Amino acid sequence: MNASTTVLHFSDLHFGTEIVAARDAALLAARRIQPDVIVVSGDITQRARQREYLAAKTFLDLLPGRAKLVIPGNHDIPLLNLPARVLRPYAGYVRTLGAPEGVWNDRMTAVVALNTTTPFRHTRGRVPVPAFRAMAEQARKRIGPDGVLIAVIHQPFVTAQPEDADEVLMNAPEAARLFAELGVDAALSGHVHYPLLRTTLADFPELPRPFVLCGAGTTFSHRVRQGAPNSFHAMRVVRGEGAVARIEVTAHVYDTGGRRFAAGETQVFVRDAGGWQADR
């Protein structure tokens, strides 16, 4: 019998620049979807100010369920307060939102959320290899070899727009090999405010096991990109027999006229013993 897990993927909330109507619509959408776990892939605030963190905490506390994984983005590190950036870059984040990484799982799906920011490189980031290996191996033990392992990062492996190419992970090739080696099934990211859905096959053809790339736009900040309105992804993970699995990703796009998030196209990916591919 198939089993499923629903993952709600928000990103780049940028409290301090939020559109109030879109924020409220995102909360209503989350309550309607009732996911098993909610992940937020960074940039919770605009300038890492305490009032922005407090507004974010209020919103996160109103989201349904107790399973929430939130990680910092580069905007969650003080930019203008240099002593804080050098000495205590995550103090405000930890004080208000808690640990900057974590692991969640049910019987068939595990989510590993890790901090990829680098305080001294402004917008750039990297996967911390030893830390992620330990977290992923722990998570894999919990769900078994045929479970679905999802990683949440801030900076992406690849970008949809060529002008964003410098914003990818600084160690993207190394991290991609690591993810494939550890059997990561999907990597959820944000950072560039432009959605992307595909596998690693075209960008990292050397990997022995392709995995899914799921980049999100900004959920409710006014800092949208041309052609990329406010949006989020709802991901349904379906386990079959053995290595067989499906990931169904539905884009939810904000309708400014109706002040609601409407479900749009669903893209489906399937897994067999050789890895992931788009379902044609």
**Residues 213-234 pLDDT 10s:** 999 999 999 999 999 999 999 9
CB contact at 8 A, 55 and 88 = no
List the single range of 84-88, 119-123, 165-169 with lowest mean pLDDT. Answer: 84-88
Given this model, what pLDDT does residue 101 score? 97
Q: What is the pLDDT of residues 92-150, one digit of tens each?
A: 999 999 999 999 999 999 999 999 999 888 899 999 999 999 999 999 999 999 999 99
* Residue 108 in tokens: 């068939």
Segments making up each domain of the chain, as ranges: 3-278
Residue among 52, 39, 112, 46 at smallest CA distance from 73: 46
Residue 276's region, left for phi above 0, alpha for psi from -120 to 50, else beta, is beta
Query: Dihedral sign, CA of 188, 193, 198, 199?
Result: negative
What number is the average pLDDT over the span 255-265?
96
List the single range of 3-17, 114-128, 191-205, 246-260 with lowest mean pLDDT. Answer: 114-128
Contacts of 41 (CB under 8 A, 6+ apart): 9, 10, 11, 12, 71, 73, 113, 152, 153, 154, 188, 189, 190, 191, 216
| CATH of the structural domain 3-278, one choice from 3.60.21.10, 3.40.50.2000, 3.10.180.10, 3.30.365.10 | 3.60.21.10
Residue among 107, 106, 108, 116 at smallest CA distance from 151: 116
pLDDT averaged over every residue in the chain: 95
- Residue 14: pLDDT band (50, 70, 90) is very high
Contacts of 251 (CB under 8 A, 6+ apart): 195, 231, 232, 233, 263, 264, 265, 266, 267
